[in-house]
Chain A
Amino acid sequence: MALADVKQSATEARLAALSMPEGGCLAASRKAALSRVQTLGLPGRRDEYWKYTRPETLTAAEAPKASVFASDEAPMFNEFDRLQVVFVDGVFDADASDDLSLEGVTIDRIADICAQDIHWAKDLYGVLEARGQSPVARPLAALNTAFAQDGVAIHVTGTPRKPINLVYVHSAEISDAILHHVIRVEAGAEATILENGPAASRFNNCMEVDIADTGKLHLVRAQGRDHERRAVTHMFARLGSESVFKSFSLTVNGILTRNEAVIELLGDDAIAHVAGACVGDGEVHHDDTVFITHDAVNCESRQVFKKVLRNGATGVFQGKILVKKDAQKTDGYQISQALLLDDDSQFLAKPELEIYADDVICSHGSTTGAIDEEALFYLRSRGISTGEATDLLTLAFLAEAVDEVEDREMADAIVARLEGWLSRRR
């Protein structure tokens, strides 16, 4: 079916502003992705999947301007021993990065892989993204596959002793970063990936994660405090038997952030958790869109998303659990909650369950609430100021999401960050 005229011309305008990196073993994947974009067209206002989030600035030919955020804080994860891989406005920075060799893992630049004829990443690059295009189209992810400037291919074969930290740096006021990472975790291997930093004025990030039987991957991401960013991220994950994938995102502010997670549980007894804690104050739009497919027996999935919104911030949650016919003994859980600190902010949620197996436990819930006045008074009656009491209750609200971070030290560091952010805005 031909695209509507508006969509067609918007898509063409965007594509005209991009050029596809040349050659190598990823060339075919990129070409195929481009044709997906051309067939699907970029998202527009009329698209059901973009009902709550306006895609225009993400799809425009030109990236909107964003001033470089000058942070007075130490970078996130600074206190942890980690291997840093740095991208400035979407381009790998070798000088700022650590040596990429680490036992138990090999890390290669996507830009380097493009110059090679053979590489394991060829069999993953664009593959999960292509699978993730149905039943719902994700054209911005296909665009990413086609045009990504850089990224890393991470092959986890053992248990590296420290996390791999993808660090994003924003340098030019107008910058249009497109990064694509592929991660393959082998049987019995386990790794932690960290992501943080304000990548660019506009950021399109795509991650494809393939976890073999019994492999484990932890992903902890921090977005913000760059207020003016516009970011769309996709995380595609495929899980084998008894594998584990746990992802947590901490987001603060941002004019527009859309985080999509598309997860397929394909092997029995696999576990996938996706969680997010978001604090938005002011001109903020934060969208978590999650699609989890259970296609094997006895798998567990959890979606835990919490948002604290004030001064006109908007939070969106679209979350789906699809349980296929043979995915018996599925245990699916989904909760999305917003704490609105004033009447100007809003939370739009669309939780969905689609279940074709009969022996499953699936629960979902979505709530929008304000600070509990009874609790607030109780705390104040003990001498705690309104501001500090509100912060305590806010952190308590976010706790269920932060608790999804398995590493206790990391979870504590996240709570400390949140405390700092909340208290500075009292």
Chain B
Amino acid sequence: MLEIKNLHVKLEDEDKQILNGLDLTVEAGKVHAIMGPNGSGKSTLSYVLSGRDGYEVTEGSATLEGEDLLEMEPEERAAAGIFLAFQYPVEIPGVGNMTFLRTAMNSQRKARGEEELSAADFLKMVRAKAKDLKIDADMLKRPVNVGFSGGEKKRNEILQMAMLEPKMCILDETDSGLDVDAMKLVAEGVNALRDEGRGFLVITHYQRLLDHIKPDVVHILAGGRIVKTGGPELALEVENNGYAGILAEVS
């Protein structure tokens, strides 16, 4: 599904290399987790995949189902099936959450040549999905993420994901800021979307989330590259011993 080969990324405005030959393949139907020390390039990877400005790819490729992601605009990537649950969801005063969701859904449908969703169908769908995530009507009415608590923002990301039903879901530290109950809700939201045709890339620092969202593969990202890949036991090792051992072993 998602294939990243030898990806080198530097900052556009600075002479700073962040990703240094990253290789990663996420198959449809699988959940891959990425762990790694602060500043190792995890969020950068997620931004580069979703098309944020400010980064320059100097080498390598990234494709989704064979299509070159790096050539596309962010909105085209979204329509192609990329979704990023942001580490820091953005507040947008003046734009209602519902308007935002509906515009997003219909834009993607239009881009794919599908019919727009009727107002009634949209409402029904959003109400049901919001309920599962314990997002109340008031939060839906408010401007996007404005005045939301940290945990509410993360749940709002998962709501968007549930509505948009992307092919490739990238979750950047969606567990940070969540209490135990919210973590379960979010994990349930993600698990409900698990499907043969869908891939997940879950960035996290903690084993906790992976107790709920069972990964098929765990990668360690350090210094802008995947330095080790293993099964769920790798996450446990990080949890127990930190990164020192693993990093020493690979270098």
Contact = CB atoms under 8 A, between A and B. Distances in A.
Contacts of B78: 380-383
Nearest to B111: A383
A403 to B, nearest CB: 10
A385 B104 CA distance: 9
A386 B89 CA distance: 19
Interface string A228-266: 000000000000000000000000000000000000000
Interface string B49-87: 011110000000000000000000111011100011010
Interface string A203-244: 000000000000000000000000000000000000000000
A380 B74 contact: yes
A409 interface: no
Given A382-B160, A384-B107, A392 B99 contact: yes
A395 B92 CA distance: 12
Interface residues of B, number: 32
B100 to A, nearest CB: 7
A381 B86 CA distance: 10
A61 interface: no
Given A373-B53, A383-B108, A383-B111, A378 B164 contact: no
A381 B92 contact: no
Interface in A327-385: 372-375, 377-385
A392 B95 CA distance: 7
Given A384-B104, A392-B103, A378 B92 contact: yes
A397 B94 CA distance: 7
Given A381-B84, A386-B73, A399 B51 contact: no
A391 to B, nearest CB: 10
A12 interface: no
Given A392-B99, A395-B94, A380 B73 contact: yes
A382 B95 contact: no
B104 A383 contact: yes
A378 B92 CA distance: 9
Contacts of A374: 90
B92 A384 contact: no
Interface of A: 372-375, 377-386, 388-389, 392-393, 395-397, 399-400
